[in-house]
Amino acid sequence: MDAARFLTFCATFFMISLSPGLCMTLSMSLGVSVGVRRALWMMLGELVGVALVGAAALGGVAALLLSAPQAFMVAKVIGAAYLIWSAVKAWRSPVKIALSQASDEVSTKGLISQGFITAVSNPKAWIFFAALLPPFIDPQQSLLPQAVVLLSVMVVIEFICLLIYAQGGRMLRDYLANRGLGQWLNRIAAGLMVGVAFWLVLG
């Protein structure tokens, strides 16, 4: 891959990743509810999902999965149900948990699952990767090295954007806590998660 094509891909993917979307909204909601450090587990699951979707798109699996909308709907509903369940727990949690103990109330496995399911069950992500990646592949060169480079860049850029959104959520959390508005922390986090759930099913 030549330098111009590589830089174009980096710029394109960064701008798209930075725009508000399912995973970025989820990252912000967890920045509010559990903080950046615990949100890293969700990011791990999300990044694995993104890498899987990207690899599948390069391998032609995306076209196959997009032809089976029932399977996608099942995955989307499961992911949405989990997010709504998490939102209900966040809404009903006492303020003191939201402020100081929330990170201990959410399991690591649950956070990883949230990120992974959100990433792989979004059909728009499959369509996006299936459309974005092929133009940046040079057919005159070996596919595997190019795929490794593109997927690595995607994961790094996605991680940076997730951190930006999670940090934004943490800053919002600190702002509200310092002004005695802690009761809004759970409600904001719950509202964002419900929004992601509906976005996932209806998108």
pLDDT tens-place string over residues 103-129:
455 688 889 998 998 888 877 677 778
pLDDT of residue 186: 60
> Is the distance from CB of 186 to CB of 98 less than 8 angstroms?
yes
When comparing pLDDT for 167 and 143, which is higher?
Answer: 167
Query: What are all long-range contacts of 100-103, with beta carbons under 8 Å and residues at least 24 apart?
Result: 102/33, 102/34, 102/35, 102/38, 103/34, 103/35, 103/37, 103/38
The length of the chain in residues reads 203
pTM, two decimal places: 0.71
Q: What's the domain count of the chain?
A: 1
Structural domain that includes position 106: 3-202
Q: pLDDT per residue over 170-197, tens digit each?
A: 888 777 666 655 555 566 666 766 775 6
Burial state string for 7-25 with b = 16 or more CB within 10 A and e = fewer than 16:
eebeeebbeebeeebbbbb
